[in-house]
Chain A
Amino acid sequence: MNVIQAVKMYITKMTEESGPGMKVILMDKETTSIISMVFSQSEILQKEVYLFERIDNLSKWDNMKHMKCIVFVRPTSENIALLSRELRQPKYGVYFIYFSNVISKSDVKTLAECDEQETVREVHEVFADYLAVDRHLFSFNIVGCMHGRSWNQNHLQRCSQGLLALLLSLKRRAVIRYDAASDGCARLAERLRDLLRREAALVDNNVPLTGDVPTPIVLILDRMDDPVTPLLNQWTYQAMVHELLTINNNRVSLAHAPDVPKDFREVVLSSEQDEFYAKNLYSNFGEIGQTMKLLMDEFQKKAKSHQKVETIEDMKNFVETYPLFKKMSGTVTRHVTVVGELSSMVAKHNLLDVSELEQEIACQSDHAKHLQRIKALLGTESVRHHDALKLVLLYALRYHAHASSALPALLDALNARGCPEPKRVLLALELAAARTRSEDLFRMMNPQNITKRLFKGLNGVENIYTQHTPLLKDTLEDLIKGKLRENLYPTLGGDDSGYGRRPQDIIVFMVGGATYEEALSVHQINQAYPGVRVVLGGTTIHNSTSFFEEVKSAMQGVHRTHTRHIKNV
């Protein structure tokens, strides 16, 4: 169950079916992202694909009859219209058409009637209809899937189609389980079941029966069941980059950072194309610094240099003074740049202090102490408004029902320091409080079990707490052990003969978005339970910034009930 591999194989199939010759690939906005997640441009070039065109680019007509055109688009009505237009006046010699999902007969007919020059050779459905982020992680890049507490219908459709495609691309049948407390999950589960019924022939003809093996499970969960995870600062590499610099379709923009070399204004971070990244995705920040330092030490020994390399700053200087190093280690240079940027943000915004407190609030209960420390950090100028907001929200989520809750005072403090829209705290609190099992929000950890994990390594990085584990990990472990309660997570569609048996293949989908911290948990589960394969997906992959967007969209036009009494925002 490797989703990157699944998409790659589809695309390779497309380039091979068209035979030798110069090729162009015609895509829409979404399929462009789907492809760019799994292939680099130079890889595609080696498959004789030389031009990448957007189907909605209506630029001047050129005669390119010497080229073969691979069309890869989603089966939307706009795309059918655009493609009809293209076929009536074909720019290219022959066309091989691939839709990324189920297409209706009437749409095929429409297209066939436009192909008067008989340029179309093949018309297929392939099911590469999701963004493969890592081998066990996928997304639909939708921020704000809910509008006023109910599904945006387009997004609901997109997600159900995408999940159908995911199953077909992995050749899996499935039973659906969902979080019964979430209306959004129930709607998506029903929609997916309906789609699977409608396409029963497609599944039956192409996907082998599982036999003795338990049927794979699609587990649909609600982000708001755990609003804490997306709020925390992260210290594993991938999650940290996303939280602090934002990863968008595997790309990270460093354009805003001071003195970043021109080549690195935008860097691509892809575990498929960058082995260092693949190796260090889940390493913590300190370990990566260590790895880089070792690398440079070894280089120095060989280059007989005696330059001092201790800090990230030294590393950057070092890389610049050794062109040979630069040349041979484009990868390292890229990561030195990224890590350099992360480390300067950590220092500049007191992120170690912020993170420590976040972790404590998430894992322990100590109202007086936490309140005092939040107040102190709110008064610290170098702490970003964004982090201040997150701290107050974490406090609100844990203590809003506490007898001496100081939430209104903290909201005042946010206002006073000029934090934009402190009201966002209440919106998120409202959304979370509307959930039935909100007492599970914070997972109490035995204080004795809390271990301070020491980061050895670079100057400047000290003790970081990584106590918090996402709720998802527990939910998955319950499911794997057959302990996930049927009344809370009912089954839809398929037979439930597998109930109580250890499932092997699990596809978890989070309505409202997943996080990289959860992807790490899934990675750990895949390693800890041999034979169990889990793939995680979400409407999007959140960091705390996009999570606040998600909340805002879900609360659009909704009146606050649980937090009605708080008026000072």
Chain B
Amino acid sequence: MAAANDDEILEGFLCPICKADLKSASQLTSHFESLHSEEQDVLKSLKDIFGKAKKIILNNDDNDLKETFDRALKLNYQEQAYYHSQEQVVGVSRSSTDYFKAVRSARLERYATETNKLLIRLDKLVCNMPTDQNMRKQHEQEVVPWLDGSSVKLCPNCAKAFNITRRKHHCRLCGSILCHDCSVFLDLNIARAIVDPSAPKSTEQQDPETLEKTGLRLCEHCYNLVELRKQVQDSRNAKTVLVTAYEQMRSLMEQARPAVAMYEKMCQSLFDGETTYNLTDVNAMRGRIGKLAEGIDLLSKQIAAHPADPGTRQARLQNAIRQAAAHYIKEDLLSLRKLPTEAQIEEVRRQRYERAERQIQAERQRMEREAATQAAGPSAPSDNHQDDDDDPLLEQMNIIRGYIKEARKELRFEEVAILEANLKELKKEYQFQKLSSKS
């Protein structure tokens, strides 16, 4: 069964110069120091390698300790059962959402008609607004007739008397009368953006003086309705760089979850001595999780570095996202169980193989015994031996092997598992065919 490789790989503590097998790391080091001391560079790298090896050994020791801690600190199975035995359903809750929304929509409908009326007027006002002051005034009054103010003595809003210094003004949206102090001014650019959300937004803020000259004079009531409309619009379009980065990060986390589960499954399969996956597969999977972790790390750092005034909610939010991501990476992505070594895998596979061999052996002996009791008739030597290459089963198996190779390359390990299972079935069938053709 063991296929002989062309170039045999030597194993053990071999001297890189004279290829002598020295049996242990310390012997190799001393051999090297005494016999090849002129090759200082090699010596140094050798020491480095042993240093690393030592670290790995120590790490294993850590694992051991971790088990000790777990045993002492974590609940054992029995205690766990006591803690989590009772199944429990989520408690009673009651929704008032329907009632809430009924009240809200009744109220908002009134607002909505009023707001719509104002928006239509606003649209007419800003569209074709003349730049000339007198023409503009005329245009404004054509859209919204102004209230006749001759009999009005007091500002309806603040109840102060009109006189030479406190003159009468009109709200451009409802035409009502008000004093200057009670007026609010709406930037024309903003007004345009409200009636046409697709229009390019200017972000520059006008200073109060220019605003009073060029903006639309409004009463507080009209201003609030229009402003509300603007806020609703803004929040709809508020998908910022930050949100995009966050969504990307979460999507990586979504991908990582099944990847980790797959890795654990593959790892277990290796430890169980199955041949569905090989060490390279599992390493590739580990690499992929590492990549995802890197991506999450990078995006969360970007989020944390996003400009925000220190101490604000925004700054706290960004830090918290980073903290959560770091915790997630550490707990879920970097605490993956260690892969077995080639030697360990060889060992379990060998054990598994031996078990299987023994079973086959026992089966064969049983069959032979049965055959012997069935009065050994002359068994005709079968001559219909098929040529291996023409067997359709073999061909199929080769095709599947090709698929497996491809799926492996693209890290589609779910598929690998299915294909491997198929392959196993085919092998079984092929063997069965061979057996039956022999007998």
Contact = CB atoms under 8 A, between A and B. Distances in A.
Interface of A: 1-2, 5-6, 9-10, 13, 20, 22, 24, 42, 45-46, 48, 50-51, 53, 62, 64-67, 91, 93, 103, 105, 108-109, 111-113, 115-118, 120-128, 135, 168-171, 202-203, 206-207, 275-276, 278-279, 291, 294-295, 298-299, 302, 324, 328-329, 331-332, 533
11 contacts: A5-B88, A45-B327, A50-B320, A62-B313, A103-B96, A116-B111, A116-B228, A117-B228, A118-B232, A125-B96, A202-B92
B62 A324 contact: yes
Given A1-B86, A20-B250, A123-B100, A171 B92 contact: yes
A297 B19 CA distance: 44
Contacts of B234: 65
A486 B317 CA distance: 57
Contacts of B66: 328
B394 interface: no
Contacts of A125: 93-96
B33 interface: no
Nearest to B240: A66
Given A6-B91, A112-B104, A128-B91, 5 more contacts: A113-B107, A278-B75, A295-B68, A295-B72, A328-B65
A112 B73 contact: no
Contact of A115 (B104, B231, B327): B104
A9 B92 contact: no
B92 A127 contact: yes
B246 interface: yes
Nearest to A170: B91
Range of interface residues on B (Cβ < 8 Å): 35 or more
B380 interface: no
Contact of A298 (B68, B88, B92, B314): B68
A168 B88 contact: no
Contact of B91 (A42, A65, A127): A127
A48 B66 CA distance: 30
A360 to B, nearest CB: 34
A301 to B, nearest CB: 9
A422 to B, nearest CB: 45
B246 to A, nearest CB: 6
A116 B103 CA distance: 11
Contacts of A299: 65, 68
A24 B62 CA distance: 39
B327 A46 contact: yes
Nearest to B232: A117
A113 B69 contact: no
A1 B153 CA distance: 72
A57 to B, nearest CB: 10
Given A51-B320, A66-B240, A66-B242, A13 B68 contact: no
Contact of B235 (A50, A93, A103): A93
Nearest to B99: A108
A49 to B, nearest CB: 9
A111 B238 CA distance: 25
A279 to B, nearest CB: 6
B68 A111 contact: no
B249 to A, nearest CB: 11
A124 to B, nearest CB: 5
B316 interface: yes
B73 A9 contact: no
Given A2-B86, A276-B73, A118 B108 contact: yes
Contacts of A168: 91-92
B328 interface: yes
Contacts of A112: 99-104, 107
A122 B72 contact: no
B323 interface: yes
Given A9-B91, A66-B243, A126-B93, A275 B75 contact: yes
Contacts of A298: 68, 72
B321 A120 contact: no
A378 B216 CA distance: 84
Given A124-B96, A329-B69, A116 B108 contact: yes
A286 B72 CA distance: 16
- Of all A-B residue pairs in the complex, the 7 with the closest CB atoms, nearest first, are A169-B91, A112-B103, A50-B320, A45-B324, A168-B92, A206-B92, A9-B90
Interface string B283-327: 000000000000000000000000000001110110011011001
B47 interface: no
A433 B327 CA distance: 56
Contacts of A9: 88-91
A484 B284 CA distance: 68
B64 to A, nearest CB: 6
A117 B328 CA distance: 36
Nearest to B314: A62
B79 interface: yes
B363 interface: no
Nearest to B325: A45
Nearest to B73: A276
A13 B90 CA distance: 8
Contact of A109 (B73, B103, B243): B103
A91 B312 CA distance: 13
Given A50-B324, A66-B242, A291-B72, A302 B64 contact: yes
B100 A329 contact: no
Contacts of B160: none
B198 interface: no
Q: Which of A65, A91, A324 has the most CB of B within 10 A?
A: A65
Given A2-B86, A278-B83, A46 B68 contact: no
Nearest to A102: B94
Contacts of A24: 313, 317
Given A22-B321, A66-B242, A302-B61, A328 B69 contact: yes
Interface in B226-279: 228, 231-232, 234-235, 238-240, 242-243, 246, 250
Contact of B231 (A2, A13, A117, A533): A117
A20 B251 CA distance: 11
A42 to B, nearest CB: 5
Contacts of B108: 116, 118
B74 interface: yes
Nearest to A331: B73
Nearest to A203: B92
A72 B248 CA distance: 29
B113 to A, nearest CB: 14
Contacts of B165: none
Nearest to B303: A22
B103 A108 contact: yes
Contacts of A48: 250, 324
Contacts of B68: 295, 298-299, 302
B97 interface: yes
B91 A113 contact: no
A113 B106 CA distance: 9
A275 to B, nearest CB: 5
Nearest to B323: A45
Contacts of B101: 112
B94 to A, nearest CB: 5
Given A108-B103, A324-B62, A127 B93 contact: yes
Contacts of B320: 45, 50-51
B238 A93 contact: yes
Nearest to B224: A116
A279 B61 contact: no
Contacts of B83: 135, 278
A65 B238 contact: yes
B324 A124 contact: no
Nearest to A5: B88
B73 A124 contact: no
A456 to B, nearest CB: 18
A64 B317 contact: yes
Contacts of A291: 72
B93 to A, nearest CB: 5
Contact of B69 (A46, A51, A65, A295): A295
B236 to A, nearest CB: 9
A279 B79 contact: yes
